């Protein structure tokens, strides 16, 4: 049911759900790898939430806590946070490391949706 309902907020993503929610998603997926102690992660969090609302129904948005989901962190070689990954049709198509503006995130998603 979630695949058809637009997401209006970034949801926590667990490793066990990754394949279903990301690799088999019917639309592009933005994943924010973050940690609660990370200053730059806190700075971009409002941008990620705003993007989730702006792209509701077009892009699914998830957050991965690197401390809780170390398997996903290792799987994608996340060395610095925040890191934003964009998937389309189950493939990683974009990676942004470090703090980003809402406009930079929006532009990356618009390229994927084009």
Go through the domains of the chain in sequence order and give each one's CATH number. 11-66+80-113 (3.40.30.10)
Q: How much of the chain exceeds pLDDT 90, in percent?
A: 77
Q: Which of 13, 41, 72, 81 is catalytic?
A: 41
**What pLDDT shows up at residue 1?**
35
Nearest CA to 51 out of 89, 10, 3, 111 is that of 10
Residue 99 has pLDDT above 50, yes or no: yes
Q: How much of the chain exceeds pLDDT 70, in percent?
A: 93
Which residues face 84 on adjacent strands? 32, 96
- C-alpha 46/C-alpha 24 separation (Å) is 27
pLDDT, average across residues 87-106: 95
Q: Is 41 a catalytic residue?
A: yes
Q: Which of 13, 31, 38, 72 is catalytic?
A: 38
Q: pTM for the whole thing?
A: 0.90
Please provide the size of the chain in residues.
114
Torsion of CA 17, 110, 40, 12, to 10 degrees: -20
**pLDDT tens digit sequence for 9-35:** 788 888 888 888 998 888 999 999 999
Q: Is 94 a catalytic residue?
A: no
The Cα-based distances of 92 to 5, 17, 37, 55, 112 in angstroms read: 23, 17, 26, 18, 11
- C-alpha 103/C-alpha 92 separation (Å) is 20
């Amino acid at each position: 049911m979630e695949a058809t309902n637009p997401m209006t907020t970034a949801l926590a993503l667990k490793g066990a759900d990754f394949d279903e929610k990301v690799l088999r998603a019917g639309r592009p997926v933005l994943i924010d790898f973050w940690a609660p102690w990370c200053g730059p992660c806190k700075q971009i969090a409002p941008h990620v939430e705003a993007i989730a609302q702006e792209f509701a129904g077009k892009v699914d948005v998830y957050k991965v806590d690197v401390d809780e989901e170390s398997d996903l962190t290792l799987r994608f070689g996340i060395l610095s946070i925040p890191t934003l990954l964009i998937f389309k049709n189950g493939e990683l198509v974009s990676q942004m490391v470090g703090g980003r503006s809402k406009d930079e995130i929006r532009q990356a998603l618009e390229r994927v949706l084009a």
